[in-house]
Every structure is written in structure tokens, then in C-alpha cells.
Amino acid sequence: MYLSCSTLVCDRETVSALPETLKKIRELGFRSFDLAAIEGWRNVNPSFLVRDGGKWAGEFSMQAATLGLTTSSINCGFSAPLNNPDPAAFKLCRREFLAVLDLAKALRCPNLTVQPGNLLSGHTPAALFDALRDHLLELSALAPGVTIGVEAHQGSFLENPADAMRLARAVWPHAGITYDPSHFVMQGIPFAVTKPLLDFAVHVHVRDAALGQMQAAMGKGDVDIAGLVSALKICGYRGAVSIEYFSGFDMDLQSTCALRDLLLGLGIEIASPPADPAAGLTGNDAAEEIEGL
């Protein structure tokens, strides 16, 4: 397992601010980052990537490489919900997915995290489930060498761990789960209930959280960080564990740094660039220490 940090931690909304965000992430000692590509929110819109035709992807990948940073995941939110059964909606998702996939290839990024969508008026839960399953399988077939993780997100179609488990079993091993304990802790769901999802985890987000609070200052919430890391080791997880405080919650970055230090102390490694990017390695095969952490 290796350590990463989301670009969301610096609360920078626009493409033009991303170089500054990457520099800050590197200054904090990270060697890898998650990039937010969530339509209408942060940091780069998938629709922009479609229109841009790859120019920005090349420039951004050079900026990351210059800083010695690898990309652990791109967190995608498309212009239409991925669980929408409407073929026109999925056509839009597919076009944006392919543009994000081109960005992932430029960055040698091993994972794409996608959002599942919500309950949609006019569609039954069964129809939404089937659409999400089928769409995930189709998208994963377009991305050999890149893992696809759907995030079991509070407030989404998959906020219930039983629904997330049902979907995971339906799409595994072609796609998996991006696991974030905060989305369950804030609902009062114990870690023991959601731990089986780790067998299907292809990416992990982490921050502290409490009942009714998706984010809590590090050490003030109820997320069992040590238990999470131990469980990940037991199930053989080898991907990134990415710190994801967001929207300016951790303005002074104290919680981010405290969580960084805790994860390092629990044996999570600092990632170095994969020896063979074409092999889709996660980056933890040649870990190295950073002075001053």
C-alpha cells in the first residue's frame, strides 16, 4: 500500500490553480495524488477534456512529472448519472469517460473512481441497479490495465453497504469499489459491517468522520484508521490510500498532515514512480522514504 493525497485538500476549483495545488501536495511530502475530475465542481470538468482533445492532459502530465508526482486515481463525476438507464445519458458518460481515460493514460494513472448516481425519478431501483452494473462492465472493457472503482458514497445510490456489496459481486473482477469509511461512519454504520467491501476495493479514500459529519478533525472523529489499515493488509490490498479532506475543511492542513503521519506510522509507504508504467503498477513496488516526515 502507498500514500496519496487528493487535489481536493487544497480547495482549488479551477484548472489554472492545479499547478499550485500539486506543488503544495509535494511540499507536504507526498509522492502521489488523486485528481478530481468532477463535472461542475472540481478540479477539471470531463466535458472540458472532451473539447480539449488531449492538449491539457499532456501539459498537466508534464507538470506532475516535473514535481516527481505520480497519479494514484482520477475521481470522476460525469455530466449525467452513471446509473441513468437512458441510452443518451450513457452516451454522454461514455464520451466523457474516454476523455478521462486518455488523461489517465497520459498520467500513467492506475485507477479511475466513478460516482454511482442517485435515485432518479421515473426509474425503479432495480432498473437503476441494472443500468449501473451494465455501464460499469462496458466502461471497464474499454480500459484494460486501469482499475475502475465505483464509490459507495453517502447520499448516493450506493450509500447502503448491502447495495454496494451486491453491486461489487455483480461487476467483480472487471470493476470494484472505491472504499471510503467516512461515508459509512457518518451514517452510524460500524466498520465491521462494511469491512467485507474491502475484498472488492481497488482504491481507498480516508479522512476522519463522525456521526452526521462526513469530515472531522483528525482524532476527533470515529474512523478506525488503524483497524482500516490492518484490514487492508489482511485482504492483500496493494493500491493507494488517499487522504481526502475537501472544500476547505482543513484550511491549515493540520488534519491532513496528522493523518499522513499516522498512516506512515502504520506502515503505509511513500510511493515512487512505477518501474514499468505500461504494466499498470500501483506504485508501491519501489517505495522510498522522504526526509523530514
Q: Where are the domains of the chain?
A: 2-279
- pLDDT at position 17, please? 87
Question: What's the CA angle centered on 50, arms 11 and 136, to 5 degrees?
Answer: 85
- pLDDT at position 63, please? 96
Residues 256, 291: Cα–Cα separation, whole Å? 18
Q: Going by C-beta distance under 8 Å and a sequence separation of 6 or more, which residues neighbour residue 260?
A: 3, 5, 28, 29, 30, 243, 293
Cell of 104: 489517465
Cell of 102: 486518455
- pLDDT at position 82, please? 97
- pLDDT at position 291, please? 31
- pLDDT at position 271, please? 73
Spatial CA neighbour of 73 closest among 34, 128, 28: 34
Q: Going by C-beta distance under 8 Å and a sequence separation of 6 or more, which residues neighbour residue 198?
A: 179, 231, 232, 235, 237
Residues 253, 259: Cα–Cα separation, whole Å? 10
Q: pLDDT under 50 in the chain at which residues?
A: 272-273, 275-293
Q: How far is CA 226 from the centre of its chain?
A: 20
Q: Going by C-beta distance under 8 Å and a sequence separation of 6 or more, which residues neighbour residue 183?
A: 151, 152, 153, 154, 159, 209, 214
One-letter amino acid at 12 equals: R
Cell of 38: 468532477
Residues 129, 135: Cα–Cα separation, whole Å? 10
CATH of domain 2-279: 3.20.20.150
- pLDDT at position 15, please? 60
- pLDDT at position 276, please? 41
Strand partners, 178: 151, 203
- pLDDT at position 175, please? 98
Buried b / exposed e along 200-212 (16+ C-beta atoms within 10 A): bbbbbbbbbbbee
